Amino acid sequence: MADAKVIPFDDDRSRNGAPQRSARRRTGSGRRKSVGESAREITVGSVPGQLGGDRAVPKDAAARGDADGTPGQPSQGPGPRGTDTGWDQRIAGGLAFLRRRLTGDYDVDEFGYDKELTDQVLMSLLRPLYAKYFRVEVKGIENIPADGGALVVANHSGTLPLDGLMMQVAVHDNHPAGRHLRLLAADLVFVLPVINELARKAGHTLACTEDAERLLRRGEVVGVMPEGFKGIGKPFGDRYKLQRFGRGGFVSTALRAGVPIVPCSIVGAEEIYPMIGNAKTLARLLGFPYFPITPTFPWLGPLGAVPLPTKWTIQFGEPIPTDGYPPEAAEDPMLMFNLTDQVREQIQHTLYKLLVQRRSVFF
């Protein structure tokens, strides 16, 4: 046994609290000894019970937690290896995230999009609202391509633009290829303090043809809501009636980039802030396109700004391909009108179908 090597395999404690080291031997040939052999072995030079002394412990006793081989005495050592609750990794990941933020060791693209901040923080803040409050149900997410550019065109409603944010979470959390939605936002978003910076970090950019085309050519999924303020600020009596889709600029952008157009219908957002009036004079003074009056706002103050917990459904429709058209098709006004009308009709038809299927606004 001169060539034997003692290998520690577990930490135990003696009756008087002194640390003991259990061991098992390997022969020079590398053969692991049986349980019976290990149970009979005593490490050379050790004295049982002596402070700092080591002695061998049967493997079955160690498995039972009997540190000194005495039945019924629980082990005081650490738990079995390989059992990890995940908290260590979370804490380490959080500290590493903070270090990167403090040192500036993170990537931001030319539009200001911060993918790490969006994934780790912004989506986490929106997810409870998405999953628990509005309980969003997503359909047809597979209609968004797994790779390459795509233009998602959706209806817009709800007085405040929460529908765009919920659509962004829906793509982020449900697409099998883990795609990210880059929203085109109105000018007003980028002049508001704090909101401006957060919108850029979340991947939003100005709703202009140049930015949209650059993103699409880079293979991004871009979201646009052509109704704009006409849709989000319409009165409650006109809910789920699509407003005019502008001059069809989004169709022209998709044609030039050669990407499919994915219609998207959102049900549930119309009822979060039932808009029963519009204080136009106050809106002009504040520089807003409208100033909503709802059954709770401004009468209840800040409490009136809490949205109603409606049940949402977001459905992505069949994509409309554009890569089969010649390059000059983007300048054909009749073609743009026809495609715009096709997208609008598909969104409106899906809205009516979802409303017929809906059992309740809140359940």
Q: Averaged over 5-16, what is the pLDDT?
A: 41
**In the predicted structure, residue 70 carries a pLDDT above the cut 90:** no
CB atoms within 10 A of CB 112: 15
- CA-nearest of 163, 143, 139 to 315 is 139
Query: Reading across the β-sheet that carries 313-316, which strands appear in turn?
Result: 137-139, 313-316, 261-267, 150-154, 221-224, 181-185, 205-206
Note the pLDDT tens digit of each residue in 275-303: 999 999 999 999 899 999 999 999 998 89
Q: Name the residue type at position 182.
A: R
Q: Residue 43: CA atoms inside 13 Å, Cβ hemisphere, count? A: 21
What pLDDT does 51 receive? 38
Bridge partners (DSSP) listed for residue 64:
none
**In the predicted structure, residue 361 carries a pLDDT above the cut 60:** yes
Query: Which domains does the chain possess?
Result: 115-272+307-357 (3.40.1130.10)
Quickly state the pLDDT bin for 26 (edges 50, 70, 90).
very low
What pLDDT does 134 receive? 98
Q: Name the residue type at position 167.
A: M
**In the predicted structure, residue 48 carries a pLDDT above the cut 70:** no
Q: What is the largest CA-CA distance in the chain?
A: 97
More confident residue, 267 or 54: 267
- CA-nearest of 39, 32, 101 to 69 is 39
Note the pLDDT tens digit of each residue in 97-145: 888 888 888 889 999 999 999 999 999 999 999 999 999 999 999 999 9
Quickly state the pLDDT bin for 85 (edges 50, 70, 90).
low
What pLDDT does 38 receive? 43
Quickly state the pLDDT bin for 93 (edges 50, 70, 90).
confident
Bond before 333 cis per omega within 30 degrees: no
Query: Could you tell me if 17 and 37 are in contact, meaning their C-beta atoms sit under 8 angstroms apart?
Result: no
State how far the Cα of 130 lies from the Cα of 208, in Å rounded to an integer: 28
State how far the Cα of 363 lies from the Cα of 343, in Å rounded to an integer: 29
**In the predicted structure, residue 56 carries a pLDDT above the cut 60:** no
- CA-nearest of 78, 265, 98 to 170 is 265
The average confidence (pLDDT) of the chain is 82
What pLDDT does 248 receive? 79
Spatial neighbors of 53 by CB under 8 A, at least 6 apart, are 20, 46, 47
What pLDDT does 84 receive? 59
Note the pLDDT tens digit of each residue in 215-257: 999 999 999 999 999 999 999 999 999 998 877 789 999 999 9
Map residue 355 onto helix, strand or coil: helix
**In the predicted structure, residue 71 carries a pLDDT above the cut 50:** no
Cα distances from 27 to residues 6, 21, 54, in angstroms, run 9, 19, 19
Query: Could you tell me if 295 and 307 are in contact, meaning their C-beta atoms sit under 8 angstroms apart?
Result: no
Q: Averaged over 11-30, what is the pLDDT?
A: 40
**In the predicted structure, residue 50 carries a pLDDT above the cut 70:** no
- CA-nearest of 267, 67, 305, 256 to 166 is 267
Phi-psi region of 53 (alpha: psi -120 to 50; beta: other; left: phi over 0): beta
**In the predicted structure, residue 315 carries a pLDDT above the cut 50:** yes
